[in-house]
Amino acid sequence: MFENLLGQEGVAAQLRRDILARELPSSLLFSGPPASGKLTAALELARVLSCQVEGPAKAAWNCACPACHRHRVLAHPDLLILGPRTFPEEIPAGLDLLRRSPGRASAYFFVRSVRKLQKRFDAALYEGEETRLAKASALLRELEERLDLVRPDDFQGEVLSEAALDAAGEATETARKLEAFVPDTVPVFQVRAAGYWTRMAPSGNMKTIVIEGADHMLDASRNALLKILEEPPASLEFVLLSSRPSALMATTLSRLRPYTFRSRGFQGEAAVLERVFKLGRPEIDSLVPPRGQRTDGAIEAWLAGKRPFGQAQARRLALSFLGAVGARQALQAGLDPAIAAMPELLEDLSFGTSPEAAGELGDLALADLGQATKDFGAKDDAYASSFDEFLGALSILLSAILRLPGLGPSGFLLVEAWAALIREAKTRAEIYNLNPGLLAESLLYSMGRARP
């Protein structure tokens, strides 16, 4: 029970005690830094609660009961996963693991990493909103066909067929395309659909709903969730995951029992990289953080290198884009002094002091964006989710602006207007399948002339 939760012995022991004493409440909050094992623990909890075996052997990782078998590959119908993806890089990392260290354990890791994505498209979450799922349906079918060739129980010893490896590679490419359809928050329609799902009897012992990135929920989703948490069914377990629990509503926090995941530190993360990802010491040692920086983050850094369009690149392009937007704003309606003084934007803002210069900045930002993203995947499917990642990087920058000291009311309102335009661009890409390049160009002009 919780044998696969590495470096979090305190949380694992607390969960075991509460489960064995039958004192586990119906709603839990797993909080802690990124890559600290929160989702692993939530998925393992769902398996433990569904296990059909009683006694000392209950919910062992190799438990042979049908419920545990389905949970190990994240295919149990009593499990729902909602929320934005924290580590989409886990899938290409799983493929890398399969190629370097083929075998059953690696196959389990790969299949589970893909199913964490698939589960966000469960038909139960799209009840009454099936049109939103239509565009992803073909990719989901293709993904399931590929996974059928990478079944962990088919492998004996450390042998992996060429057909299985090819299928895993194809599944990884399909997953990259599917990532673009994952909402960057928890939509209210999914919370309501999950509420309807909770009132249906489980197929086994218990149902479990896991909400990743619970602190990203908008007000409508938070209020809808609160109604479910007020009177949850006896056969349901709610697990909210958050790296910023203070961002949750106080009324929601009051209904959750907190379980705190501590930072593993570099040595703890090194153990995960060695045992789970099978990395050698030279590669692990290359991830040692510089003196004075946070001691965790090695897992995040390694995973970030598994995407063709990573967070660092998305941030660089978002800064260039925002600099062009700010130059236009400064010319048309002025710019809040706190925003104008941001060191990352100063060069662009000082250059774009004329309409011609501001226009040139915009042209350069759009050209750089198109080149770096292969025209948002039009020239290379591996970049299919780059538009969504670019918008995510823009949103993160706006969050940083809101924390600037001295930001005035007009600056706050401008950032809100920008955020609304970014959300609209994402919706137009997801729902109406509009060209991301044209959407990026439209977004630049719209943000450049936005009014607080």
Q: Say which residues have a Cβ less than 8 Å from residue 392's Cβ, sequence separation at least 6.
A: 184, 314
DSSP string across 398-418: HHHHHT-TT--HHHHHHHHHH
Residue 8: pLDDT over 90:
yes
The SS3 of residue 145 is: helix
Closest to 151 (Cα-Cα) out of 80, 103, 90: 103
* CA distances to 260, 403, 437, 442, 452 from 398, in Å: 28, 9, 21, 18, 14
422-443 pLDDT tens trace: 999 988 887 777 899 999 999 9
Q: Whole-angstrom Cα distance, residue 274 to residue 6?
A: 11
Average pLDDT in the chain = 90
Q: Whole-angstrom Cα distance, residue 320 to residue 325?
A: 9
Q: Say which residues have a Cβ less than 8 Å from residue 371's Cβ, sequence separation at least 6.
A: none
Token pair of 66, please?
């049908």
pLDDT value at residue 67: 95
Between 297 and 199, whose confidence is greater? 199
Q: Whole-angstrom Cα distance, residue 276 to residue 90?
A: 12
The residue extents of the domains of the chain are: 9-260, 265-304, 311-448
139-191 pLDDT tens trace: 999 999 999 999 887 776 666 788 888 999 999 989 988 988 888 789 999 99
Closest to 93 (Cα-Cα) out of 310, 402, 347: 310
* Segment 372-385 mean pLDDT: 84
Element housing 253 (H / E): helix 250-253
| CATH label, 9-260, candidates 1.20.1050.10, 1.10.10.10, 3.40.190.10, 3.40.50.300 | 3.40.50.300
CB atoms within 10 A of CB 343: 6
Q: Whole-angstrom Cα distance, residue 104 to residue 331?
A: 60
pLDDT value at residue 292: 55
Residue 36: pLDDT over 90:
yes
Element housing 370 (H / E): helix 355-372
pLDDT value at residue 109: 94
Between 382 and 399, whose confidence is greater? 399
Q: Say which residues have a Cβ less than 8 Å from residue 92's Cβ, sequence separation at least 6.
A: 172, 176, 306, 307
Q: Radius of gyration of the chain from Cα atoms?
A: 23
Instruction: Categorize the per-residue pLDDT at 392 as very low, low, confident or very high, splitting at 50, 70 and 90.
Output: confident
Q: Say which residues have a Cβ less than 8 Å from residue 250's Cβ, sequence separation at least 6.
A: none
